[in-house]
Structure 1
Amino acid sequence: MNQVLDLVGIFVFALSGALVGVRRKLDVVGMAVLAAVTALGGGILRDLILNVPPAAFFSVGYVVTPLIAAAIVFFWHPQVERVMPVVNVFDAAGLGLFCAVGTEKAMDYGLSPLHATLLGVTTAVGGGVLRDMLAGQIPVLLYDRQLYAVPALLGSAVMAVLYVLDLHGWPATLAAAVLTFALRIAAVRFRFQAPLARGVTADE
Structure 2
Amino acid sequence: MEALLYWAGMAAVAVNAITGVLEAERKHMDMVGAITVATATAIGGGTLRDVLLNREVFWVADQAYLATAIAVAVLTFFWARQRPISEQLFLYPDAVGLALFSVVGAQAALQWHAPWLVASVMGVVTGVFGGVLRDVFCNQVPLIFLPGELYATVAWVGALTLIGLQELGVDGTTAAWVAMAVILVLRAAAIRFRIRLPTFNAPS
Q: Which band: TM-score by shorter chain?
A: 0.7 to 0.9
What does 1:129-140 align with in structure 2 at a 5 Å threshold? 129-140=132-143
Partner residue in 1 for 2:184:
181
Residue 5 of structure 1 and its aligned partner are, at CA, apart by 2.9
Q: Which runs of 5+ in 2 are unaligned?
A: none
Out of 152, 166, 171, the position equivalent to 1:163 is: 166
Residue 165 of structure 1 and its aligned partner are, at CA, apart by 3.3
CA deviation map 1:66-107 (0-9, x unaligned) = 212221233232446558746644432332221112112212
Taking a change above 3 Å as real, the CA distance of residues 35 and 80 of structure 1, as seen in their structure-2 partners, is farther
CA deviation map 1:123-182 (0-9, x unaligned) = 001101122223333222111544221211110111222233343521111111111111
**One-letter amino acid of the structure 1 residue matched with residue 31 of structure 2:** V
Partner residue in 1 for 2:113:
110
Aligned Cα RMSD in Å? 2.3
Please tell me whether the aligned partners of residues 16 and 35 of structure 1 are also in contact (alpha carbons under 8 angstroms).
yes
Out of 50, 54, 73, the position equivalent to 2:57 is: 54
**TM-score, scaled to structure 2:** 0.86
**Same amino acid, percent of matched pairs:** 34
Taking a change above 3 Å as real, the CA distance of residues 174 and 144 of structure 1, as seen in their structure-2 partners, is farther
Please tell me whether the aligned partners of residues 46 and 123 of structure 1 are also in contact (alpha carbons under 8 angstroms).
yes
Mapped to 1, the partners of 2:89 and 2:23 lie a distance apart of 17
Partner residue in 2 for 1:120:
123
CA deviation map 1:36-61 (0-9, x unaligned) = 11011111111111111111113232
The alignment status of 1:7 with 2:10, answered yes or no, reads yes
**TM-score, scaled to structure 1:** 0.86
Partner residue in 1 for 2:145:
142
Q: Which runs of 5+ in 1 are unaligned?
A: none
The alignment status of 1:36 with 2:39, answered yes or no, reads yes
The count of aligned residue pairs is 200
Taking a change above 3 Å as real, the CA distance of residues 5 and 107 of structure 1, as seen in their structure-2 partners, is closer
